[in-house]
Chain A
């Protein structure tokens, strides 16, 4: 009974004639309607992008606060890592630096040679990408999509569309930027497609994320296609998003059924999609920047690949943004 009394007391805090407010059904109708309007405005009309950005700025400090415990755990863990472990790691890193230095020396001379040959052929110089190192803040909370949030955003000159790679391969693409963080859609997401090339024979295709598990599909390839198990897929670079020649995936399974004209090819991504903490955000100069450069340098304009159709790859995907002649397998 005491509780009953309390219950009454609680309700009498509001003015007596307006105790309950609008009925539950009215509230349901009102708020459902607003939600539906929001859903439509956000998904179809993209009106709320700026609202989302400003709200995200408010949430960012909270996110940092929430990241503190795990960060603290990692810091403590690193602090108490043993001497032996550090020595081992140091040695490994030194060896890697040595081998990479040798490779880099070769690369420098090759790059010089390449530039010289390009000048001889009077073609455009290879695109120079700029890159930013970012740290993964957390994995996307939506189980239906494959996304990660990284700690670099508009303030660090990141824009939607930039490619995200790690030491072993392509990870994904920046799809949404906030002032201090950005959202990276992984290549295993259902909505992301990436133009690839088979390293062995130069065959071009488009890889789609599978969505449910961490695999990629290579759809729309005929059943008699020359793809073997273990083939390496690299970025073809014809989309103007990903630099050419980065590892994407390895073909793990090929299935050819008599009832389908297409082969069913499943690939496993080479990048450490769910294991690394640091990634590299790579940007290829935009079409506008390239055009500006061409205007500044008019003698390059006449050799622009847009005006030389033989340089344009025969099977370019629809979303091709610029012609990148730095591909090793461009048909001549």
Chain B
């Protein structure tokens, strides 16, 4: 495993942003995973020296801009999620694949719950439990990425 380069971090975040900007609509929009957060979690786990809570906040701002919502919603959600991810990052190297999946699911859910709270405060109505589907699809995407050979760090340590 070679040390992670900063340019890979930027490149992957940029690609995720383009994915976010794709004209999703209808059913695809409802199940669309949070690409930016997935890439963030990947780098937070793998290279916390390159990508930390500050980066998460910054990425969140860009997502806020793309969604057109109130500034700071995604920024706050990503900051708190990044905090959880970073504070358990050392422990994560002992996790195996399945445990890591649950951990990622937990992180995705945390960000969604924070977003839900913020949006409810600003007057939105809960749109039903289907709101949490993007977390499930996000974990599925993570699982596919890991099984197709993406090294998320930590996984090989325990073996």
Contacts and interface: CB of A to CB of B under 8 A. Distances in A.
Interface stretch (A54-62, A125-133, A246-254, A261-269): A54-62
Nearest to A59: B65
Range, interface on chain B: 35 or more
B127 A10 contact: no
Interface residues of A, number: 56
Interface string A58-71: 01001101110110
Nearest to B19: A66
Nearest to A55: B65
Given A28-B83, A141-B67, 16 more contacts: A3-B1, A19-B49, A31-B54, A32-B76, A35-B60, A35-B75, A36-B72, A38-B75, A39-B71, A43-B70, A65-B21, A138-B25, A139-B25, A140-B67, A141-B68, A143-B30
Interface of B: 1-4, 17-26, 29-30, 47, 49, 52-54, 56-57, 60-62, 65-73, 75-76, 79-80, 83, 86-87, 118-119, 122-125, 127-128, 131, 156-157
**Interface centre among B61, B83, B156, B157, by most A CB within 10 Å?**
B83
A27 B53 contact: yes
Q: Pick the 3 closest A-B CB pairs, nearest first.
A: A38-B72, A66-B21, A35-B76
B29 to A, nearest CB: 6
Interface of A: 2-4, 6, 9-11, 13-14, 19, 21, 24-25, 27-28, 31-32, 34-39, 41-43, 48, 52, 55-56, 59, 62-63, 65-67, 69-70, 137-145, 147, 149, 176, 183, 190-191, 211-212, 274
B76 A62 contact: no
A62 B21 contact: yes
Contacts of A274: 25-26
A35 B24 contact: no
Contact of A13 (B49, B72, B119): B49
B19 to A, nearest CB: 8
Contacts of A65: 18, 21
Nearest to A4: B157
A172 B87 CA distance: 46
Contacts of A3: 1, 156-157
Nearest to A63: B21
Given A39-B118, A142-B68, A9 B73 contact: no
A143 B29 contact: yes
B interface: dominant SS: helix
A52 B68 CA distance: 9
Contact of A31 (B17, B25, B73, B75): B75
Contacts of A69: 22
Contacts of A191: 123
B75 A24 contact: no
Given A65-B18, A143-B30, A183-B68, A35 B23 contact: no
A6 B65 contact: no
Contacts of B29: 139, 141, 143
B64 to A, nearest CB: 8
A31 to B, nearest CB: 4
A9 B3 contact: yes
A88 B43 CA distance: 54
Nearest to B75: A35
A143 B127 contact: yes
Nearest to B17: A62
Contact of B71 (A10, A32, A52, A138): A52
A66 B20 CA distance: 9
A10 B19 CA distance: 29
Contact of A24 (B2, B66, B86, B123): B86
A141 B53 contact: no
B23 A139 contact: yes
A28 B53 CA distance: 7
A183 B30 CA distance: 20
Given A27-B52, A41-B71, A42-B71, A35 B57 contact: yes
Contact of A48 (B52, B71, B76, B157): B71
B119 A144 contact: yes
A70 B157 contact: no
A207 to B, nearest CB: 17
A41 B122 CA distance: 13
Contact of A42 (B24, B70, B127): B70
B3 to A, nearest CB: 5
Contact of A59 (B30, B66, B125): B66
Given A21-B52, A211-B125, A138 B24 contact: yes
